[in-house]
Structure 1
Amino acid sequence: MNEMNRGIGVALSAITFAQSLKILTHKAQTGKWDWRPLFQTGGMPSSHSAGVSALATYTALKTGKQSIETALAVVFGVIVMYDAQGIRRHTGEIAQLVNDLDEDIELLSGHYPDLFHARRDVELNELLGHQPAEVGGGAVLGIALGLISYYTRMKR
């Protein structure tokens, strides 16, 4: 990989690796193999956190901690990780409440004929964000991959 694209490569590799690990963490939690976590948001580890942490780590090592590139990568990373465990997680919790409310209204409408309710065909996606531990796990994974990428580059 040429030097100019190595930062992009390490970030995308970290995202792919983290998404792949979700298959294993799903198996550990449920005892069942399932490929769907590979294409879903949420879960352990956070691929968003892994990607931005790998990029920030590699950038800091390559350009120095005082560079504008490092500042941009770190600030971008903090925003992404905050969003993943904050806003996106809360959106998922609200989706779960809406889905539960839809079920409750459907149950009530069965007891009260005057109450009309048309149930949605598809429920809202509830797994949108991350718990803080999932964000932390992704960050640790990303930092490790950023370090590996930088130091393997140096040996060539």
Structure 2
Amino acid sequence: MKKMNTGIVTALSAIGIAQGLKVFTYKKVTGKWDWRPLLQTGGMPSSHSAGVASLASYVAAKRGTSSIETALAVVFGAIVMYDAQGIRRHTGEIAKLVNDIDADIEVLSGHFPGLGHVKQEEELNELLGHQPAEVAGGAALGIVIGLISAWIEDSK
């Protein structure tokens, strides 16, 4: 039987662990238990960052820091983490503004019946990206998971 690719298992495990931790960080922030963060983007820690950081640290531990595989994993990870806290976060902030404007126009249309506003059926998703601390938290979690995975594989 062929062995599963440990790098893939490591990255997917880190993503799953990070998503699971979001339930607990949500509880800590809001005081309420909610399982929805398991399936949502955004939040602490970043599962995107955890996944790519675990893969990069696993590859570095197995192949060495000067290998082409490590270079690929690190550059790929840096792009993903930059995107998570940059473009995706700004898109979420724009979605919040659009949702707020829609609510304000709805209130105005109540005062001015001729305005003719049709409310959005669903609000835009505002939790798309991450704050820098959420990306850093995911990266730290991922590095630890990647190194543990490499250590476990080497100890077999």
TM range (shorter): over 0.9
Residue 20, structure 1, aligned to residue 3, structure 2? no
**Counterpart-to-counterpart distance in 2, 1:42 and 1:19:** 10
Deviations 1:20-39 (A, max 9, x none): 00001011111111110000
Matched residue type, 2:73: A
- Please state how far the C-alpha of 1:64 moved relative to its aligned partner: 1.2
- 2:68 equivalent in structure 1: 68
Q: Which runs of 5+ in 2 are unaligned?
A: none
Residue 34, structure 1, aligned to residue 34, structure 2? yes
- Please state how far the C-alpha of 1:63 moved relative to its aligned partner: 1.1
* Residues 146/23 of structure 1: CA separation in 2 closer, same or farther (3 Å cut): same
- 1:147 equivalent in structure 2: 147
- 1:79 equivalent in structure 2: 79
- Please state how far the C-alpha of 1:113 moved relative to its aligned partner: 1.8
Indicate the larger mover: 62-71 or 131-140.
Answer: 62-71
* TM-score using structure 2 length: 0.97
- 1:126 equivalent in structure 2: 126
Deviations 1:5-30 (A, max 9, x none): 00000000000000000001011111
**Counterpart-to-counterpart distance in 2, 1:24 and 1:56:** 26
**Counterpart-to-counterpart distance in 2, 1:44 and 1:25:** 6
Aligned length: 156
CA RMSD of aligned residues (A): 1.3
Matched residue type, 2:109: S
**Counterpart-to-counterpart distance in 1, 2:154 and 2:60:** 14
* TM-score using structure 1 length: 0.97
Q: Percent identity over the alignment?
A: 70
- 1:113 equivalent in structure 2: 113
**Counterpart-to-counterpart distance in 2, 1:50 and 1:113:** 50
What is the 5 A alignment of 1:91-102? 91-102=91-102
